[in-house]
Amino acid sequence: MFLRLKPVFAWLAFLALSCWGLMAIVYSNLPAGARLAAAAVFGLSALGCVFLPREGRRKITWFSSLFLLLLAWWLVLPPSNDRDWEPDVAKLPYAEVKAGSVTLRNIRDCDYRAEKDYTVRHYDRTFDLGSLRSLDLFFVDWGLPHIAHTMLSFGFGGGKYVCFSIETRKKKGEEYSSVRGFFKQYELTYVAADERDIIRLRTDHRKGEDVYLYRLDATPEFIRQVFQDYLQSVNRLKEKPQWYNALTANCTTDIWKHMAPFYPKAKLDWRIFASGHADEMAYELGVLDQTLPFRELKARSLINERSKAAGPDRAYSEIIRRGLPGFDQ
| 293 lies in the same domain as 237 | yes
Distances (CA, A) of 30 to 17, 37, 74, 80, 184: 20, 10, 11, 15, 12
**Enclosing domain of residue 39:** 2-75
Please tell me the predicted confidence (pLDDT) of residue 266.
80
Residue 301 has pLDDT above 70, yes or no: yes
Q: Which parts of 18-131 are beta strand (E)?
A: 94-98, 101-108, 111-114, 117-119, 122-128
| 47 lies in the same domain as 94 | no
Query: Which of 20, 45, 75 represents a domain boundary (last residue)?
Result: 75
Residues 6+ apart with CB under 8 A from 254: 166, 188, 233
Residue 260 has pLDDT above 70, yes or no: yes
250 and 325 Cβ atoms separated by less than 8 Å: no
| 109 lies in the same domain as 207 | yes
Confirm whether 313 is domain-assigned.
yes
Query: Which of 52, 75, 98 represents a domain boundary (last residue)?
Result: 75
Residue 8 has pLDDT above 80, yes or no: no
Residue 308 has pLDDT above 80, yes or no: yes
| 48 lies in the same domain as 190 | no
| 56 lies in the same domain as 104 | no
- Residues 256-279 have a mean pLDDT of 92
Alpha-carbon distance 320 to 310, whole Å? 7
Going by C-alpha positions, the residue among 17, 75, 12 that lies closest to residue 46 is: 17
- If residue 64 lies in a helix (H) or strand (E), which one and from where to where? helix 56-75
Q: What is the pLDDT of residues 163-195, one digit of tens each?
A: 999 999 999 999 999 899 999 999 999 999 999
Alpha-carbon distance 254 to 273, whole Å? 10
Residue 5 has pLDDT above 50, yes or no: no
| 188 lies in the same domain as 245 | yes
Confirm whether 81 is domain-assigned.
no
| CA torsion, ordered 24, 25, 31, 32, to nearest 10 deg | -110
Alpha-carbon distance 224 to 237, whole Å? 20
Confirm whether 107 is domain-assigned.
yes
Sorting pLDDT into bands at 50, 70 and 90, what band is 7?
low
Q: What is the pLDDT of residues 28-55, one digit of tens each?
A: 988 989 999 999 999 998 888 877 766 6
Question: Structurally, how many domains does the chain consist of?
Answer: 2
Residues 6+ apart with CB under 8 A from 191: 88, 89, 93, 108, 164, 165, 166, 167, 198
Confirm whether 229 is domain-assigned.
yes
Please tell me the predicted confidence (pLDDT) of residue 53.
66
| CA torsion, ordered 273, 274, 277, 281, to nearest 10 deg | -30
| 10 lies in the same domain as 121 | no
| 214 lies in the same domain as 238 | yes
Alpha-carbon distance 231 to 96, whole Å? 9
Sorting pLDDT into bands at 50, 70 and 90, what band is 1?
very low
228 and 253 Cβ atoms separated by less than 8 Å: no
Query: Which of 42, 75, 108 represents a domain boundary (last residue)?
Result: 75
Confirm whether 284 is domain-assigned.
yes
Please tell me the predicted confidence (pLDDT) of residue 47.
86
- Please give the share of the chain, as a percent, with pLDDT higher than 90: 84
| 100 lies in the same domain as 71 | no
| 153 lies in the same domain as 275 | yes
